[in-house]
Amino acid sequence: MSRIMVLIVLLGLAARVGSGAKAQAADVPSTETPAAQDLVAAADRIRNPQQPFRLTDTLVEYRDGKPRDRVVLIVFAREEKDTRQYSNLVRYAEPPRDAGKMVLLHGSNMWFYDPASKASVRISPQQRLIGQASDGDVVTANLARDYTAKLVGAESLEDADRKDRRCWHLDLAAADPEAIYSRIEYWLERGTDQPVKGKYYSDSGRLLKIAYFHNYQEQLGTVRPTETIIIDAVDANLVTTMTTSDYRIQELPDAWFQRDFLPRLKAD
């Protein structure tokens, strides 16, 4: 009997261990604990302008710590009014062998266009995950719409500059079948709601990517991360930086987000 009691006590304590991060939140008065979903929505507004926009993403791939590949993408993005999901048009500007190739990411309607062969090829959600354009999803994804957030607790975390940041630790579960990742762990700075770190998981629970949001600067009226460091959790030697520049508000009509517009998309 006493053994059972000890076991129950240990299990009770173990449960608290399991919510160890919550224990860390004990210094936060419950009245100050924000709603998890509101935090994610606030972070979405920081990552993404609220109007249709374009930007230039420069992805530099580091292998074994050394820069190796550079890909420059021109991204046109807008939030769909009905679904609140981001639609993207991506045009490759570099490397030279890929110049002019384009990708449409519009809900489940995803196409790749190669101007050399004039071929439009439909791509699957899986291909979206493995392509370079998938790194763009880390930036232009409406997480508040696609995920149900749960507050794990308050934690102190080092950002990419090794500076301590007091963060909310959130656990996001996919709430929409079109959500790209099955689960995301997300750390947002308390007070500013700025994303500091994200961990992105597949359906099988496999950790795919770790992202550090970095280099905050004012862009289009809001202080936003202009560099995202993406650590590949599958390929241990691969780290990609995504530097965002040339933010512009731009009208993006509905008609742009379909296969037949891809050959017409210009970067100038």
Q: In the set 7, 26, 50, 95, which binds other proteins (CB under 8 A)?
A: 95
Calculate the alpha carbon distances from 150 to 90, 119, 147, 224 in Å. 32, 43, 10, 24
Q: Give the integer Cα–Cα distance in Å for 164 and 157.
A: 6
Asked if residue 96 binds other proteins (CB under 8 A), the reply is yes
Which C-beta is closer to other proteins: that of 42 or that of 155? 155
* Contact characters 124-153, other proteins, x per CB under 8 A: xxxx-xx-----------------------
Asked if residue 7 binds other proteins (CB under 8 A), the reply is no
* Contact characters 227-246, other proteins, x per CB under 8 A: x-x-x--x-x-xx-x-x-x-
Asked if residue 162 binds other proteins (CB under 8 A), the reply is yes
DSSP class of residue 40? Answer: H
DSSP class of residue 255? Answer: G
Asked if residue 250 binds other proteins (CB under 8 A), the reply is no
What are the φ and ψ backbone dihedral angles of 52, each rounded to 5 degrees? Answer: -55, 140
User: How many residues of this chain bind other proteins (CB under 8 A)?
Assistant: 87
* Contact characters 38-77, other proteins, x per CB under 8 A: ------------------x-x---xx-xxxxxx-x-x---
Asked if residue 83 binds other proteins (CB under 8 A), the reply is no
Asked if residue 3 binds other proteins (CB under 8 A), the reply is no
Which C-beta is closer to other proteins: that of 7 or that of 249? 7
Q: Give the integer Cα–Cα distance in Å for 50 and 197.
A: 22
64: Cβ contacts below 8 Å, ≥ 6 apart: 237
Q: Supply 101's token pair.
A: 């190739």
Q: Give the integer Cα–Cα distance in Å for 207 and 213.
A: 18
